[in-house]
Chains A and B, each alone.
Chain A
């Protein structure tokens, strides 16, 4: 379990002081963060695997009596560490809006219909090679009140644990070519364009199934890399 977590890697994350995203204004710390050494409390973390999911949790189109409306999709990918090695047996939780851009959450009241055949929550656990897959429908873009005529690009929310409390990640997956990217302050809060690109899934014909569903690939890289091999310690 010799993983280390270089702090420089975390620079890819967006700053919580991102004024374009209005809700940050009263919710970001103004005092400097304190650098925390990576003690046992940090390099350990919750381990949740196959016992947490049930058959069908990974198919969001089959949670109700009928099928949801919308464009059926398969989203698959691998969960990797920074060295590109698979993160096996780790829980992936997702949630999303329906094809009309409406969430079942009670607080989403914007004028778009709910779909009685779609909740939008799914779970999967990665296999030995770090692979996961979900079947769902493509979520719609939705309006929000951040600024005049604000619309979120279509996205699926992801939550992952990985090997420790340092690798914990909550993020959003986007779809390629979305015209709303330049206008979205949440996406653009990530300042490095290459890091932003890593949130955009890729359309994949090999994942696409004939007469059935379009396929998208979204690989996720969590913090953690192999400890650099060192010499055996000497006693003298």
Chain B
């Protein structure tokens, strides 16, 4: 037994040279480009901006995504059905630009099992780290061209008027727009888990 978990603290404003060190003389181990050349599936780009409660872009945030592959398999031992997706890690990390902008390139995830024999619509798990955020925020990205959204057991838990904040909008073939609003008008739905 332990006394309890180690609590979170903000990532602060100065993480880039370690966590997203593209502009520094430090080797980068994670990137916003999740799908390498050998990975099966439809290539997509998820782009957007992170906004604060005043509508200003948040230029010092870091986003991380976690997703299944195109066939709905997670690269993790807890996914007992997953086999043969070794080329796809499913994890990406992106800093925001000064205007709050970010982009990931990946493959469209497949549907994955949900609780009680249900099926979850294709989605990407998203976490937001930033100065001014003491405990990282957790949300999900769904896709507006997926009929399965209507039967998704997690979307069903979200008040209908706010569900749209979790749905990325197709803006061009293979391109989806997903903005994150930390506070205020159109505030993104965040989860506790």
Q: How far is the CB of A89 from chain B (nearest CB, A)?
A: 12
Please give me the residue from chain A that is nearest to B192 by CB atom.
A33
Query: Is A16 touching B9 in the complex (CB atoms < 8 A)?
Result: no
Tell me the count of chain A residues lying within 8 A, CB to CB, of chain B: 84
Also in contact, A172 and B75, with CB within 8 A (given A31-B162, A119-B24, A120-B17): no
Query: Is A93 touching B192 in the complex (CB atoms < 8 A)?
Result: no
* Interface hits, A6-30 → B, CB 8 Å: 7, 9-10, 12-16, 18, 21-30
Please give me the residue from chain A that is nearest to B61 by CB atom.
A27
**Secondary structure class of chain B's binding surface, majority of residues:** loop
Also in contact, A27 and B132, with CB within 8 A (given A44-B76, A121-B18, A121-B26): yes
Please give me the residue from chain B that is nearest to A190 by CB atom.
B7
* Interface hits, A153-179 → B, CB 8 Å: 157, 159, 164-166, 168-172
Query: Is B5 touching A12 in the complex (CB atoms < 8 A)?
Result: yes
Residue among B19, B26, B75 making CB contact with A47, cutoff 8 Å? B75
Query: Is B9 touching A37 in the complex (CB atoms < 8 A)?
Result: no
Could you say which residues of chain A place their CB within 8 Å of the CB of B123? 41
Query: Is A27 touching B112 in the complex (CB atoms < 8 A)?
Result: no
Please give me the residue from chain A that is nearest to B64 by CB atom.
A168
Q: Which residues of A contact B (CB under 8 A)?
A: 1, 3, 5, 7, 9-10, 12-16, 18, 21-31, 33-48, 52, 54, 80, 82-84, 93-95, 97, 103-108, 119-123, 157, 159, 164-166, 168-172, 186-187, 189-190, 192, 194-196, 198-199, 220-223
Q: Which residues of B contact A (CB under 8 A)?
A: 1-19, 21, 23-27, 29, 52-54, 56, 58, 60, 64, 66, 68, 74-79, 89-91, 112-115, 120, 123, 125, 127, 129-138, 140, 153-154, 157-158, 162, 182-184, 187-193
